[in-house]
Every structure is written in C-alpha cells, then in structure tokens.
A and B are shown apart, each in its own frame.
Chain A
C-alpha cells in the first residue's frame, strides 16, 4: 500500500509533464504505387549535409526527439531501395549523383492524429535543386514520421525533373 502511494506522485509528474521519446526511423511500406523509372547510367545517392544532433518536437503531453542526420540516412536508403526495385543501378562511385538532405521535420498535432511533415532538398550533379515536402498522419507520431519518410522517397522519385535527370544522358 505504501509503495503504491509513493508511485502516485511519480505517475502524476508523468501525466503533468509528459515524457520524451526518441524516434529512430523504421521502415514503412506505403500502399501507394511507385512510378516506373528509367536511368541512362548508374547513379549514386548521397547523404546531404544534414546536421547531426537531437531536435525536440513538442507534442500534447509528451515530446519527441529526432535527428535530421538519421532522417536523411533513412531517406537515402528508401530512395536507393526504390531505384533498385525499378531496375536502376545504384553505385556509390557513379559520376551521376543525387544528394538528399532532410532539412526540417515537425509534427502538426490534430484532433487525435499527428501529421508528420518532412521537408527535404534534392540536389543533382546536373545542377537541379528542389525543396520538397512529404507528410503522413497517424495517432502514433513515430509511425506518422516513418510513413512520412517513405512518402518523401515516393515524392522524390515522382518529381518530374528528378525523373528527367535520371533518364537523361551524361552526368
């Protein structure tokens, strides 16, 4: 009984001040179809210069930390997987290269749902630079961000200029 009473103030603190969880990106399969891709030559997908370090996102009753470097790495892996699945040769030493950087990620809290919004930049060795955004929603903010990162990869490979660059000759 005494132990239970001691637990109550701790429980109260958690309820009042919430808790912090760190989100490490995990794979998430989208239901949406992926576009077919063609590439004139092998391509390298590189990690942009996203800063490493925890960022804190405040949510109702809790906080979530994330690392833009980890998010960028997850986006690179998902784009590489999408390219490979479509038969595009991915080679780290290829002269034709694409650099990806997640520049910002945040949660828009809604009525019972969390919208994870991921902003990222695509740079190609052909000189194309584009800021893109992807989002996904879920009651679970971590799940929302896993889905948003997969949708970011889908947004990237669906971008008309990105696709034109892949298909074009020369790096």
Chain B
C-alpha cells in the first residue's frame, strides 16, 4: 500500500515539477541599461522575441527586436537572447525557457533567468517570459 502511494506521489510530483530562477551578475543593475535589443533566433516560429520585447517595454525599457542575421543596432545598452526547449505530451508545450542579457561590446553575461515547467504544470510562453523578466528585475 505504502509503495503504491509513494510511487503515485513520485510520478505526480515528477510530472508537475516547476522552478524559476533569475539573477543579475555581480555589480550589474539591468534597469540602468535602458536601450535593449532582443535577438530572434532562426528557429523561433512562435515570436517569443516579441513577447520578451513587449514585457521589457512594459517594464520601462526601450526595446527593439530583430533577427540574428541583422546584427545588433548601434547604441544599445544590452543584447537579449533566449533559448526555448519544447516537449510533446498530448500537445506541444514549452518545457524550459532561458533569457540572457549581454553586454553589446564584450558579450559578458549581465543577467540570466530560466523558467522550467513540466507537462502537468505547463504554462504559456507569455507567462514564462513574464515570470523570468519579473524575477530578474526584482532579484536583489
């Protein structure tokens, strides 16, 4: 009996596991980097770059976006890139999303955040973008 209960609990907890993480690197205050550019990666068919730029604009940033091939416009204070990993379980869902802010001159990492939701706890890309940006901006 105990074993069945534990196995069921482990299976359920494994299917709905989530975690959120966001961090500015030492000495960085990302909100002081007012002009940001979001780089769309070539395999993004879901416009996650637009979601990130919209969320950053809501937070007071001046956000532009464009494909990787076009490069980064002059005068930006940070370059934003992201990585999305999708899974299939009855339908496609976003398993993990990572968002990075980098210095446009040196490519040094300024801030990074990551959201992870397994199938039963799945969230929309918009939700995950929002929670990562919020976590980075409020993490002190």
Contact = CB atoms under 8 A, between A and B. Distances in A.
B108 A129 contact: yes
A131 B114 contact: no
Nearest to B1: A8
A110 interface: yes
Contacts of B96: 108-110
B13 A130 contact: no
A132 B107 contact: yes
A94 interface: no
B109 interface: yes
A108 B98 contact: yes
Contact size range, B: 20 to 34
A125 to B, nearest CB: 16
B6 interface: yes
Contacts of B83: 108
B26 interface: yes
Nearest to B7: A15
Contact of A109 (B3, B6, B26, B116): B116
A131 B103 contact: yes
16 contacts: A8-B3, A11-B6, A12-B2, A16-B13, A51-B26, A103-B26, A106-B98, A106-B114, A109-B95, A109-B96, A109-B116, A111-B87, A117-B98, A121-B106, A130-B106, A131-B103
Interface of A: 5, 8-9, 11-12, 15-16, 51, 58, 60-61, 103-104, 106, 108-111, 117, 119, 121, 129-133
Interface of B: 2-3, 5-6, 9-10, 13-14, 17, 19, 21, 23, 25-26, 83, 85, 87, 95-96, 98, 102-103, 106-109, 112, 114, 116, 118
